Amino acid sequence: MAIIKAGAEPLADLAAFLQPFAKLLHRVENRRAFERYATGLLADVPRKTMAGMGRAVRGTNKQRLHEFLSRTHWDAWEMDRLRMGHMLKHASAGAGVLVIDDTGLPKKGQHSVGVARQYSGTLGRVDNCQVVVTCHYVDQVFDWPVMARVYLPEAWAEDRARRDKAKVPEAIGFLTKGEIALTLIDEARAAGVKPSAAVFDAGYGDQPALLDGLETRALPYGAAVSCALRFRLAEAIQADPGDPPPPPRRTKGRPSKKTGLETRVPALETQAILAALPAEAWQDIAWREGAKGALVKQFARVRVHRTGQRGKHLESVGWLIGERPLPGHGGELKYYFAWGLDEVSLEELVKLVHLRWVIERFYQDAKGELGLDNYEGRSWHGLHRHIAMVMLAHSYLTLRQSYGPNVLEPSRGAPHRGFPPQGPGKPGRPQARGTRRAVPPSHHALRQRSRRTKVT
C-alpha cells in the first residue's frame, strides 16, 4: 500500500473521511485532538509515539494526544463498528473472507496491559510482548482491518492488582485466542459484515473450540492444521459395518461391551493420511503471482472427519488438504482442513487458505508506517483506542488508494461524484486494480454448482 505522508497542514480529504466518526466525541477540542492524532499516524515520523507526533504535528502536543487516548470519553469498539459500516458501503465487493491472526508487540517491563513472556509469531520466539488478535476483511477487490483485541494471559486475568492498574474492565475475563477470534467474528457479523468463510493458521486451526464455534455459526472455514492433528477417513466411516450381533450368552457374567466406532475406525495423524495418498492424487496448482513469478506447489485432498477429545468421533466432515514442494524443490509440508466448502474445487480451496498473506501485509504497513507497535501507555482502553485509530488510518489509505484524493464531500461524507463506476448502472464502486483475489463463491453460487456438478 502506498502510504500518504501528512505534512504540517491538515489533509483535506482526511478531515472529510474522519467527519462521520467525530460524532463519538462531544467536545470541539476532543474532535480536534482526534484529527491531529490521525494526522500524526500518517506523518513522516520515525516512531509514532505521542511525544514524536506531538512534536511533528502542528496544533497539538504530547499532553493533548495523551488526554485524547486516556481521558476522553469514547468507545474504541464503537469506532470500529462505525468504520465497518463505512467500509462496507464504500469498499466491499461482497462475498468477503475474514482472516484471523495475531501479532506481537515487543515490550519491556511488566505493567503494560497483557504483557508477558509468551510466544509471538512476529518475533518467532517466546519473548516479553503483548499479543493482539486481529480480524481482517478480504474480498476480490478490497481488504481492510475489522477489529482487534489484546490477548489477556490467564495470569493477568486473575491478578486483581495488575488489572486495576491497567484499568481492565471488570467484565473482561480470560479468553483463549480462539475464543477472542469468535468474539471478533460475532462483532463483525453484527456490524453487517457477511463473510463467506473464515481463514486462519495452525495456531487457531488446532483449537477445537474455535472450529466448533464456527460450525455452530454455520460459517465455513479454511484452517491450517498441525501434522499431528488426528482425523478419520470419511471413506472408512462410510464402510464401517458397525458392531456385529452379540453371540448367544452361555454364562451369567456381564455381556460383552460394544467396541464402538472409535475402536473400529482408527484416527490417523494428518501427515500419515496424506503420505498414504497415491502419486496421481497430487496436482500442481498456482495460487497467485509472487515477486519472482507464480507461486506453485503440489496439492491433494481427501474427505475426513474431525476427532474430539480422547479420539471421540465427530460428525464434522470436510476436506483435508496437503501441500508439498514441487519435485526437486525444497520446502516444508503443510496441511489444511476446510469445512462447509464441500462443493469448492481444490484450486479454489488452495487460493482461499493462502489468503493469510493479506493480513501479514497489513501488519507490515500498520507497524512500519502507522505506528501500531509504538504505543507507550499501559492501560486497556488506551491501547485499544490506539489500535482503533491505526485501523481507521489504514482504512482511509485503502479508500484513497481506490478512489484517489478528495474521496468524500467534506460536509456529509457522501460519495464523491467522481468515483469510477464498476460497471453499467453501478456508480460509486471502484474498479478492481491488478489481479483479482480468489475467494470462495457465495452460498447461492455453491447451491447452484451443487445442482450441476459432483464433488470428486
Q: Which three three-digit cell numbers place residue 5?
A: 505522508
Neighbours of 193 (CB within 10 A): 20
**pLDDT computed for residue 451 by the predictor:** 40
Q: Are 197 and 222 in contact (CB under 8 A)?
A: yes
**Phi-psi bin for 311: left (phi > 0), alpha (psi -120 to 50), beta?**
left
Cell, residue 307: 476427532
- Strands (E) located in 308-446: 313-324, 334-339
Which grid cell is 214?
A: 464456527
Burial degree of 426 (CB within 10 A; 0-12, 13-18, 19+): exposed
pLDDT for the residue numbered 438 = 61
What is the helix (H) or strand (E) element at residue 15, kind and residue range? helix 12-18
Distance CA 123, CA 370 (A): 19
52-86 burial, b at 16+ Cβ within 10 Å, e below that, comes to bbbebbeebeeebbbebbeebebebeebbbbbbeb
**Residue 166 in contact with residue 115, Cβ under 8 Å?**
no
Helix (H, G, I), strand (E, B) or coil at 208: helix
Q: Compute CA distances 64 → 6, 25, 71, whole Å.
A: 19, 14, 10
Q: What is the pLDDT of residue 440?
A: 61
Q: Residue 23: count other Cβ atoms within 10 Å of its Cβ.
A: 10
Phi, psi of 447 (to 5 degrees): -65, -40
Q: What is the rounded CA–CA span in Å between residue 356 and residue 61?
A: 38
Domain ranges of the chain: 12-201+359-403, 222-239+261-355
Residue 409 confidence (pLDDT): 42
Task: Give the CB-side neighbour count of residue 188, counting CA atoms within 13 A.
Answer: 31
The pLDDT value given to residue 12 = 77
Closest CA to 217 of 190, 244, 257: 190
CA dist 264 to 231, 244, 303, 350, 388, Å?
14, 11, 18, 32, 52
User: According to the model, what pLDDT value does residue 401 have?
Assistant: 86
Are 5 and 43 spatial neighbours (Cβ–Cβ below 8 Å)? Answer: yes
For the chain, 456 residues long, give each residue's pLDDT as a single digit of tens. 555 666 555 677 898 899 999 999 989 999 999 999 999 999 988 899 999 999 989 999 999 999 999 989 999 999 999 999 999 999 999 889 999 999 999 998 889 999 999 988 777 889 999 999 999 999 999 999 999 999 999 999 999 999 999 999 999 999 999 999 999 999 999 999 999 999 999 999 999 999 999 999 999 999 999 999 999 999 999 998 876 666 666 666 666 566 678 888 999 999 999 999 999 999 999 998 888 889 999 999 999 999 998 889 999 999 999 999 999 998 999 999 999 999 999 999 999 999 999 999 999 999 999 999 999 999 999 999 999 999 999 999 999 888 876 555 433 333 332 222 233 233 344 443 434 666 665 544 444 443 433 333
